[in-house]
């Protein structure tokens, strides 16, 4: 499956409306692609082990989506197959009082994984140009009017995000951003499930319906953010999210692809340590 169909790196513009939200003609290949997902994750796990051992480069996967698009299940079903010792998952909620008293990247920087590990952001630094933009939250920020009243408030944030991701790249990190593109019809069906199935009541938040009423505004916000921040070093991927098995397959392809590009290797053994191995090995065998 060529990932370029779903990849945005600033070379071509994104238009959210009209993008695929399901597996389409590949729906008939579900069985084969589910098996391919498992194989991909086995290979990704081997590369993750080398990444962890080398400790030279880190990987950040930022996942953004509308409500009920499948972020949690994607993290569980895909990244749950990796070594948890070399994986950090951070879910960003609405910022609290302490977080709001700092710059908006403060809490993101605190959640960055150490090099050698993979960090998964369930929601991310892009909340501050998505829901914040749609809800015009900047008007209530405790910041000077020269900032909150600036008509270029969000364009400047796009520049800040792009520069921050380039900064990470130049300090040994890869950043990959993923937008799960769920259809309005599928979101409706999942909301109904949350309201009618007892085992899914815990996922229900009636405020999600308020955000659903702003569907077009979110289309515009995602489109603007992706087009302004997609770069070769920190690309966006827009994945169909109606068929979860297909989303997981594509995510496994992306993960394997970026780890392959990173090409981690086990560190070379220390020469002095290596020279002592025969002596130590002989001593152990005599015990």
Domain span at residue 92 reads 3-286
Give pTM, 2 decimals.
0.94
* CA-based radius of gyration for the chain: 21
Query: What is the CATH classification number for the domain harbouring 19?
Result: 3.40.50.300
Residues forming a β-bridge with 7: 237
Classify burial at 79, counting beta carbons within 10 Å of its beta carbon; exposed 0-12, middle 13-18, buried 19 or more: buried
User: HEC profile for 117-184?
Assistant: CEEEEECCHHHHHCHHHHCCHHHHCCCCHHHHCCCCHHHHHHHHHHHHHHHHHCCCEEEEEEEEECCH
Q: Count how many domains the chain has.
A: 1
Half-sphere exposure of 231 (CA within 13 A, CB side): 17
Contacts (Cβ under 8 Å, ≥6 apart) of 168: 60, 112, 175, 234
Residue with tokens 């960090």: 119
Residue with tokens 């270029």: 152
Sign of CA dihedral 276, 282, 285, 287: negative
pLDDT digit string (tens) for the chain, length 287 residues:
578 999 999 999 999 988 999 999 999 999 999 999 999 999 999 999 999 999 999 999 999 999 999 999 999 999 999 999 999 999 999 999 999 999 999 999 999 999 999 999 999 999 999 999 999 999 999 999 999 999 999 999 999 999 999 999 999 999 999 999 999 999 999 999 999 998 988 888 888 889 999 999 999 999 999 999 999 999 999 999 999 999 999 999 999 999 999 999 999 888 888 888 898 999 999 98
């Amino acid at each position: 499956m060529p990932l370029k169909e779903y990849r945005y790196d600033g070379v071509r513009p994104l238009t959210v409306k009209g993008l695929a939200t399901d597996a389409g003609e590949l729906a008939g290949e579900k069985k084969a692609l589910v098996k391919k997902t498992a194989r991909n994750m086995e290979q990704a796990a081997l590369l993750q082990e080398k990444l962890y051992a080398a400790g030279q480069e880190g990987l950040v996967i930022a996942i953004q989506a509308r409500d009920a698009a499948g972020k949690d299940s994607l993290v569980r079903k895909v990244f749950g197959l990796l070594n948890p010792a070399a994986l950090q998952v951070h879910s960003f909620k609405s910022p609290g009082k302490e977080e709001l008293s700092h710059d908006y990247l403060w809490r993101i920087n605190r959640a960055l994984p150490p090099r050698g590990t993979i960090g998964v952001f369930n929601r991310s630094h892009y909340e501050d140009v998505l829901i914040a933009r749609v809800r015009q939250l900047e008007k209530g920020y405790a910041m000077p009017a020269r900032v909150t009243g600036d008509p270029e408030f969000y364009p400047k944030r796009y520049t800040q995000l792009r520069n921050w991701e380039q900064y990470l790249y130049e300090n040994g990190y890869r950043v990959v951003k993923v937008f799960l593109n769920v259809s309005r019809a599928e979101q409706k069906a999942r909301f109904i499930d949350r309201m009618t199935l007892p085992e899914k009541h815990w996922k229900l938040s009636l405020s999600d319906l308020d955000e659903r009423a702003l569907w077009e505004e979110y289309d515009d916000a995602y489109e603007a953010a992706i087009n302004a921040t997609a770069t070769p070093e920190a690309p966006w991927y827009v994945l169909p999210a109606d068929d979860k098995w297909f989303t997981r397959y594509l995510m496994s392809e992306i993960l394997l692809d970026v780890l392959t590009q990173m090409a981690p290797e086990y560190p070379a053994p220390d020469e002095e340590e290596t020279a002592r191995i025969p002596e130590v090995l002989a001593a152990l065998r005599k015990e």
